[in-house]
Structure 1
Amino acid sequence: MINKIGKITLYVNNQEEAKKFWTEKLNFVVKFEQPMGPNMTWLEVGPSESEFTTFVLYDKNVMKAQNPSKNVCHPNVILSTTDIENAFTKMKENGVEVGKLTKMPYGKMFSFKDQDGNEYLLREDK
């Protein structure tokens, strides 16, 4: 049946701004980028070239035009790191809006916001 999580679509206000956020501030790489017609690009980013799972950065307005009933609200996404303190420091240095670094019995984590103000959670997994 299902053996991997392939792609997670993030609906964004501006693909180029989203691309810059993920690649310049969070050090993701562009995994795939291809025009899909006028004013439309398929754009995937991921944490590394070798990582299978990607975020598809899809323009909200394009999706609304294609499918007016489509819910383009932000999904709840939890990302993973093996060094939470380093990630927290680097994200702050890169100008990312980060929340408080929290230590819970089940792990350390903090929230951060992207270029559109969507919130994510970064959790340490060792």
Structure 2
Amino acid sequence: MINKIGKITLYVNNQEEAKEFWTNKMGFVVKLEQPMGPNMKWLEVGPSAEEFTSFVLYEKQLMKSQNPEANVSHPNIILSTSDIQSTYDEMKAKDIKVEELMIMPYGKMFVFKDQDNNDYLVREDKY
């Protein structure tokens, strides 16, 4: 049976802008980048080379041209950190749009926005 979550597709307006955001601002690495036809490429980023799960950055307009019925709305994604305060401070220092740090009975978390103004949640997890 299935034992890992492999890849999560993020539909973006521009792959190069998304690559810049995820690698230079978020500190992710490019795990795979290769052509997949004319004017298209497969682009995966992840927190490290060793991390199995990655984001596939796929341009919205290309997907819509291939499949007009495709839902390219943004998925709800929760990223994890073991030190929420340091992560929050680092992201603010890199001029990433972050909302207020929330301290709730069920955990600490905050929302940030990517280059296309999509929302992500970062949550502190002990691992």
TM-score, normalised by the number of residues in structure 2: 0.98
Name the residue aligned to 2:99: 99
Deviation, 1:105, is 1.1
Deviation, 1:24, is 0.5
Deviation, 1:38, is 1.2
Where 2:20 maps in the other structure, the secondary structure is helix
AA at the equivalent of 1:50:
E
Where 2:16 maps in the other structure, the secondary structure is helix
Where 1:97 maps in the other structure, the secondary structure is coil
List per-residue Cα deviations over 1:35-56 (Å, max 9, x = no partner). 1111101000000111000000
Structure number having the greater strand percentage: 1
Name the residue aligned to 2:56: 56
Alignment of 1:1-126 (within 5 A): 1-126=1-126
- Runs of 4+ aligned residues of structure 1 deviating over 3 Å after TM superposition are none
Give the whole-Å Cα distance in 1 for the aligned partners of 2:103 and 2:26: 22
Give the whole-Å Cα distance in 1 for the aligned partners of 2:36 and 2:103: 44
Give the whole-Å Cα distance in 2 for the aligned partners of 1:9 and 1:94: 24
Aligned alpha-carbon RMSD (Å): 0.5
Where 2:51 maps in the other structure, the secondary structure is coil
Deviation, 1:106, is 1.4
AA at the equivalent of 1:36:
M
Give the whole-Å Cα distance in 2 for the aligned partners of 1:22 and 1:47: 9
Where 1:121 maps in the other structure, the secondary structure is strand
TM-score, normalised by the number of residues in structure 1: 0.99
